[in-house]
A and B are shown apart, each in its own frame.
Chain A
Amino acid sequence: MPIWSPLSVTRSLHPRCSERIVLIRSLLLLCGALCSHPILAAPLKVALALGEERGAYLAFEAALRDALESRDDVVVLPARADKQAELIVAIGAKAADDHSGSAIPVLHVMVSRAGLEKSTRKSLQGASGIYLDQPLARRFSLLRAALPGTRSVGVLISGETPELATTRQLASASGFSLHIQSVPTPDRLAGSLAALLAESDVLLVLPDAEIYRSDTIRNILLETYRQQVPMIGLSQNYVRAGALCAVYSTPSQIANQAARVVAQFARTRKLPDYQYPQEFEVAVNTQVARSLGLAIKSAERLRAEIGERP
């Protein structure tokens, strides 16, 4: 194995990591020709904790593993070696539950903001996360770009959620009148939705596990279509089911962001604050748009309009 020169290390590293290059250079100087290969610092031991072995979680795990394995400052531990880890990446709510109260710092991913805030997970020291939710500002940007003629936005909630204040702010900043309909019990969904749709140009789905469920979505979508009110969904699945459009992040986009957080932790041993996904996509259901008589822009065009790729 050849002796690595500082120059070749520099070339192989990402330009952002200039601070680290300084560190590596000094280490190399110390080590000098005594070392046959560079043991720079002990690499960060990361455990990927998978709560459930299901589609999106597995895709995320594979993408994050890929991103981390090319790094020399991070070692991904084999399964069930969490105890030796210096950082746990908890994938999904079940993994978050499994590692609540953990003494080891935890990075929560693939968990909704509400899911993190509902539990005590967030208050734990040494924990952070990347929300699954898109920032509301981004969702409003999509709404403005996709349906420029919108005047009133309807929202269904089962109870008070922290997002409501932001929703109110953004709606008024966009010049929309916001109609909030509360669904106190599931059997009141029918009347609440009918009343809401009657006064709304668009139904904005806020994450709410009490309202939007696989067993209610059929009825909700049929009713929105009956009243010719488009729905702004939460995911690609929503769009496939019949929502007009949605902004979402793929598991691999979130994995890229998680890899950056892990790298930062490897460097600083500190987790950044909770954050929203940075990279995202837009999905549009053109068949629904046409049937509703809406001239909607393409997904690519909407993606470009609501923000540059990072």
Chain B
Amino acid sequence: MQFNLTGKGQGRLITLNRDSFRILLSTLVLTPFFATAQADDGLDSEQAFFLELPVVLTASRLKQPLDESPSAMTVIDAEMIRASGFRKLSDLFRLVPGMYVGSQKGHSAFVSYHGTTDNYARRMQVLVDGRSVYLPPFSSVTWDNIPVLLENIERIEVVRGPSAASHGANSTLGVINIITREPGILAPDQVMVAQGGNGVSDLSAMFGLSSSLLDQRLTIAYRADHGYDWSLINDGNRTRMLSWRGNYHPNANDSFDIQLGYSEATRGEGVVGRATSPFRDTQSGYDYQQLTWTRALESAAELRVNYQHTYWRYDDIQTHIPERFNTDRHDIEVQHSSQWHPDNRLVWGAGIRSEKVDSPLMFVVPAPALTQKRVFAHDELRIGDAAVVNAGTMWEDDAMGHSNASPRLSLNYHFLPNQTLRFGTSLAYRSAATVEEYGNTGLIADHPVWAQGGVLPEKMHSREIGYMGLFPDIGLTIDTRIYADHLSKLIFVDPVIINSAVYNSFKNMYQLDFRGWESTLKYRWNEFGSLTFNYARQQASCTSDGLPTNLWHPNIKAAYNDLLSGCPKIVPVNSGSLLLDHRLSAGLLLSAGYYFQDEVRVLDAQYTQSPMHRVDMKITRAFGKRDEVGGGEVSLVVQNLFRDTHTEYSSIPQQGRPTLDRRAYLVATFRY
């Protein structure tokens, strides 16, 4: 077997052999488990009735119905992902009302609910199968590095609002919870190739293997493109990833989910004519290991222990000031859930997380390893058939001298069958990023940082009234809400002067009020077609919540006031999306997406980003049976079909903007 992925964009040599992979899987991985695998054969017919069956649909695997969710939630399922034609994980969040998706380069995207973000969207928690990918030192999400393939995603639940009681620390503006498909015999092996304009060149393969006690899947992928259509910046990128997931279920009550993954990305950096940022390649690597043990207890109770380790490194060394980051995180959590009364379900648990980040440039004085602790409880109480009360809280110690409780309370009232009103209030905090508390570059950096410390966690208080209507007879679902969110103690750059040198420090300086309404309308007129419409109208206003240390300095005062006056622009007033999915005939599928967004200002940008709108289209010719061996499809995806203005924000004070011009690519998938 030859298996060689060279990432130069041209010379890729890939010889995949299905049997070789099966052998690889079965020999490399957990071979001892197979010894007992077939022991249970020769079942007598009555075994069908007495069979000790594993508890498959465990409480933690079951999703809450949308009309009983304690917070506003958007679900992006596999069908929507397919219909959108997107090839980048971050792009999917354009399908969430009120979500901002940006990137000033063709890579390093960031995603933030309610806007209010800079290059590092640090106010949203992002989880993949319960594993946080929101990482120090910047409290950011490196979307390009996450070894998750779009084809492997079962669904994405996006909580629009704080949700610490359910999703843990830093679930401040919202939570993105990515749930990948479990390994098992029912997902056939698959190979996918995409080729197209602007260097789009993707390849992925998934292999599964199942035995009676162990289901496993191996995924390998390669993804590359040349970035935006803007020659002033160097933003080509390519990513290689490898992941393995196994579910070992030795008996009816225990199940072990094991996940291992690795990715490495090469990303272009550099701006034309900028000596401090020459054209160069940067390297990053990411790996994780996760073990989740779930034990089913009596009367639908469940105990779950989860351990995870994530390591991320970033090297930008082909420049005059080399930058390196190494982030290491361990996390262990125990959770117990029980249905201790037919109308009452309780989930509670505790966790401990240790984080260490090294960077010779960013932390001249090494940042301490932080050990954060948390305890949480969440209760779901039913009152009659019509009302569900969710009450919960999380208490955390952020290891930077602060401990907070983040409670949440909501009432879902089904005033008529399928008609629900939701009233909710919740509180959540965002702990300072390591850089915001401990950053210290000395004077060597282009933008010297010397965090003076003592920043308080940002605090979010959200109140909302929602309505959810299901009209199954006509295939319509309406989900709408109004909210008033208050974010206080916003941490912002605070220039300080030490020994007559200027450094960036950080301080709690603003409070923001967000008001708005959001709607999602889903219409499925028959089994062949559906339409999803998302719309958000947002308003933001800022007031002072602390003054810059050097307010006397005219430039600092001007910058401070600039955000106060420019505040309404940090969210787009109108934004939304429309996704059409239609099956024209048995083998022909057509889908189209329309995305729009008003003018918006990213916090660290020099200019506002102009309004954008664009149309994507995907035509798919399927052959064979879907999800079955021998099935597959060929798709043509055209992004920005009508060459509308899709400019991204930029912090580069030069003419022009990064744009996404029309680009097309072909995707071929084959299941075997």
Residues A217 and B48 in contact, CB atoms below 8 Å apart: no
A207 vs chain B, min Cβ distance (A): 4
Residues A214 and B40 in contact, CB atoms below 8 Å apart: yes
Q: How far is the CA of A214 from the CA of B296 in the complex (A)?
A: 16
- The contact string, 1 if C-beta is below 8 Å from chain B, for chain A 177-221, is 000000000010111011100000000000111001111111111
**Chain B hits for A235, CB < 8 A:** 48-51
A217 vs chain B, min Cβ distance (A): 5
Q: Is A262 among interface residues, defined by CB-CB distance under 8 A?
A: no
Q: Which residues of chain B have a CB within 8 Å of any CB of chain A?
A: 37, 40, 43-57, 59, 61-65, 67-68, 154, 182, 184-188, 210-213, 215, 247, 249, 252, 296, 300, 339, 342, 345, 385, 417, 625-629
B33 vs chain A, min Cβ distance (A): 12
Q: Is A105 among interface residues, defined by CB-CB distance under 8 A?
A: no
Q: Indicate which residue in A111, A189, A217, A226 contacts B154 across the interface (CB closer than 8 Å).
A: A226
- The contact string, 1 if C-beta is below 8 Å from chain B, for chain A 262-281, is 00000000000000000000
Q: Indicate which residue in B51, B57, B64, B626 contacts A213 across the interface (CB closer than 8 Å).
A: B51
Known: A207-B49, A219-B185. A242 touches B44 (CB 8 A): no
A103 vs chain B, min Cβ distance (A): 24
Residue of B49, B62, B63 most packed against chain A (CB within 10 A): B49
- Closest A residue to B214 by CB, please name it: A215
**Secondary structure call for the A interface:** helix
Q: How far is the CA of A207 from the CA of B45 in the complex (A)?
A: 8
Q: Is A48 among interface residues, defined by CB-CB distance under 8 A?
A: no
Residues A112 and B46 in contact, CB atoms below 8 Å apart: yes
Residues B210 and A219 in contact, CB atoms below 8 Å apart: yes
**Chain A hits for B61, CB < 8 A:** 225
5 A-B pairs, CB-CB below 8 angstroms? A190-B186, A194-B628, A209-B44, A213-B51, A223-B186
- Closest A residue to B187 by CB, please name it: A190
Contacts A190-B629, A235-B51 known; list 6 others, CB within 8 Å. A194-B627, A214-B40, A214-B51, A217-B54, A226-B154, A291-B64
Residue of A114, A190, A208, A223 most packed against chain B (CB within 10 A): A190
- Closest A residue to B345 by CB, please name it: A287
Residues A111 and B54 in contact, CB atoms below 8 Å apart: no
**Chain A hits for B626, CB < 8 A:** 194
Q: How far is the CA of A214 from the CA of B417 in the complex (A)?
A: 37
A-B complex: 10 closest residue pairs judged by Cβ atoms = A242-B57, A215-B212, A191-B628, A115-B45, A241-B53, A291-B62, A221-B56, A93-B44, A207-B48, A219-B184
Known: A287-B59, A287-B62. A214 touches B45 (CB 8 A): no
- The contact string, 1 if C-beta is below 8 Å from chain B, for chain A 231-249, is 0001101101110000010
**Chain A hits for B59, CB < 8 A:** 287
Residues B185 and A216 in contact, CB atoms below 8 Å apart: yes
What band does the interface of chain A fall in when counting residues whose beta carbon is under 8 Å from B?
35 or more
**Chain B hits for A92, CB < 8 A:** 44, 46
**Chain B hits for A208, CB < 8 A:** 48
B622 vs chain A, min Cβ distance (A): 14
- Closest B residue to A217 by CB, please name it: B53
Residue of A54, A93, A194 most packed against chain B (CB within 10 A): A194
- Closest B residue to A233 by CB, please name it: B53
**Chain B hits for A165, CB < 8 A:** none
**Chain B hits for A50, CB < 8 A:** none
Known: A237-B51, A242-B55. A219 touches B188 (CB 8 A): no
Q: Is A286 among interface residues, defined by CB-CB distance under 8 A?
A: yes
- Closest B residue to A240 by CB, please name it: B55
Q: Indicate which residue in A187, A191, A212, A293 contacts B51 across the interface (CB closer than 8 Å).
A: A212
Residues B49 and A218 in contact, CB atoms below 8 Å apart: no
**Chain A hits for B300, CB < 8 A:** 240, 285, 287
Residues A237 and B45 in contact, CB atoms below 8 Å apart: no
Q: How far is the CA of A111 from the CA of B185 in the complex (A)?
A: 30
**Chain B hits for A56, CB < 8 A:** 50
Residues A221 and B185 in contact, CB atoms below 8 Å apart: no
Residues A291 and B48 in contact, CB atoms below 8 Å apart: no
Q: Is A295 among interface residues, defined by CB-CB distance under 8 A?
A: yes
Residues B45 and A114 in contact, CB atoms below 8 Å apart: yes
**Chain A hits for B629, CB < 8 A:** 190-191
Q: Is A75 among interface residues, defined by CB-CB distance under 8 A?
A: no
**Chain B hits for A218, CB < 8 A:** 54, 56, 184, 215, 247, 249
